[in-house]
Amino acid sequence: MSSKRISYKVDGEVQGVNFRSFTQKQAKSIGLTGFVTNVSDGTVQGEAQGSDDAIKQFVQHLNKGPSAASVSGVEHSEISTKSGESGFNVQ
The CATH number of the domain where 18 resides is what?
A: 3.30.70.100
Q: pLDDT grade, residue 1 (50/70/90)?
A: low
12-25 average pLDDT score: 98
Domain span holding position 19: 1-6+11-39+48-77
Q: Is residue 52 domain-resident? A: yes
Answer whether residue 89 shows pLDDT above 70.
Answer: yes
- Active-site residue, from 5, 38, 63, 89: 38
Catalytic residue among 5, 18, 20, 63: 20
- Residue 82 sits at φ, ψ, to 5 deg, of -115, 140
20 in active site: yes
Q: What number is the average pLDDT over the span 40-55? A: 97
Q: What's the domain count of the chain?
A: 1
Within-domain flag for 72: yes
- The question of whether 38 is a catalytic residue gets the answer yes
Burial of 86 (C-beta count, 10 Å sphere; 0-12/13-18/19+): exposed
How far apart are the C-alpha atoms of 79 and 66, rounded to whole Å?
26
* Mean pLDDT of the 56-60 span: 98
Q: Assign residue 71 a region (left: φ > 0; alpha: ψ between -120 and 50; beta: otherwise).
A: beta
pTM for this predicted structure: 0.95
pLDDT digits (tens, 9 = 90+) for 2-17: 799 999 999 999 999 9
